[in-house]
Structure 1
């Protein structure tokens, strides 16, 4: 696989998915060589390691993740993990692609309207970012050329072509929708994580935060205006308000694409 030194020297040229292996190395990684080598753990394979990595990242976050912590979760020695992955970065890249494999993709062979397909992809991507808050940082760290990540990317590109936007505008349309979803889902996921860490529900945290801020004279006027906007958008809970915001913003983007197609 790619060494840490190689990643540092050429991050744009390195990825676990670009590594060329011999058949013997592939057998080693998959735990299917001719019998176990001395020191190679029994009952362990790359899939189990990736699953445990995702569980740890979900429960403890990327900052606390380490190969030693992973080995303890798997009840093996730290060196045992290195039979299947060479570096922590390789493992994070594999975990990133694994969670993209849980993202439902629309059937692009049907005559389904592109608007519905775009909504499905955007909603699924948002849910992924919320469910796995560590993903947003890794998306900007790695090349994201694993099979599941590429399947999502190709589906997004195909749906954007189906909108009727001219070729020179399709990447702009893609950026408008999915960078919005990335930002929305990242903030939402981190807020939910913050509430969980504080041992509070989202509504409890929100009420306490707003109450504390409104008590400060220097913030009172600014947040009085913000409170009016929050009341106007409706919703009894933080989750309700967020759903309204996301749905309305996504429809604005769909309407924008329709307008640009009509203009073209």
Structure 2
């Protein structure tokens, strides 16, 4: 007789009916997010999380089968922070889409550990917050007048840009945190070596060393986002 195989994901495994009263999955996930924000992905172990919750690792396993499932849960949890505006006027599609893109980027920057996580989160796209986000984006693009046949690809293009830029920034911020320096201090220390490395490559020269580094990151993100939206707008208008 064939044995039915389950896909290894928290979203495909039935949730146990009885939970330990003193500890819930929601508490576990909230504490895991706090641990990740404070110490990063390497610090996330079932033992350390249990210690923060004053519970043994065995207690956690009543709610989460393994660390991979926990990561799926925390990723879905922080995706719940992303705002997708309701769109009443199709003419406001671009503004609403920019708001959503900035909300996604802000979420990633609040949780820099996402940089090392998004490529290895299993079936996180089955989580309720990710599903709500995707449904909201489809509604936003449909209300904005996008052709139904292109909506999925258009959303994918937008999300790929924002996530790609976001995790690059998050990795940079995580490195800054490890250095113990401010962004301006780190850039100032880096400048001599970078200018020396670029001296034989005049086309690679950087002329914005004196700019505020936070404003520089914001400018670069917005430039790319506007170009992506320019391209999507041509398809929408067509």
- One of 214, 217, 223 as aligned partner of 2:195: 214
User: RMSD value over aligned CA atoms?
Assistant: 2.4
Whether 2:89 is the aligned partner of 1:111: answer yes
CA offsets 1:211-235 (integer angstroms, 9 cap, x no match): 222234xx3233663313x37xxx8
Q: How far is 1:51 from its partner?
A: 1.0
Question: Radius of gyration: which is bigger?
Answer: 1
Q: How far is 1:91 from its partner?
A: 1.4
Q: C-alpha distance in 1, partners of 2:230/2:141? A: 14
Residue of structure 1 equivalent to 2:217 = 242
What does 1:172-191 correspond to in 2, within 5 Å?
172-191=153-172
Q: How far is 1:168 from its partner?
A: 3.5
Counterpart secondary structure, 2:200: helix
Residue of structure 2 equivalent to 1:204 = 185
Whether 2:66 is the aligned partner of 1:79: answer no
Higher relative contact order (CA 8 A, sep 6+): 2
Whether 2:146 is the aligned partner of 1:171: answer no
CA offsets 1:96-140 (integer angstroms, 9 cap, x no match): 1111122223124x3361112211110011011111122244333
Q: C-alpha distance in 2, partners of 1:240/1:166? A: 35
The answer for unaligned runs of 5 or more in structure 1 is: 1-5, 33-42
Contact (CA 8 Å) 1:214, 1:223: kept in 2 or not? no
Total equivalences in the alignment: 232
TM-score, normalised by the number of residues in structure 2 = 0.87
Whether 2:173 is the aligned partner of 1:192: answer yes
Q: C-alpha distance in 2, partners of 1:137/1:258? A: 32
Residue of structure 1 equivalent to 2:14 = 20
CA offsets 1:226-247 (integer angstroms, 9 cap, x no match): 313x37xxx8311111111222
Contact (CA 8 Å) 2:84, 2:137: kept in 1 or not? no
Q: C-alpha distance in 1, partners of 2:147/2:205? A: 38
Contact (CA 8 Å) 1:161, 1:170: kept in 2 or not? yes
Contact (CA 8 Å) 1:163, 1:257: kept in 2 or not? no
Contact (CA 8 Å) 2:115, 2:168: kept in 1 or not? no
TM-score, normalised by the number of residues in structure 1 = 0.79
Q: How far is 1:14 from its partner?
A: 3.0
Q: C-alpha distance in 1, partners of 2:221/2:27? A: 35
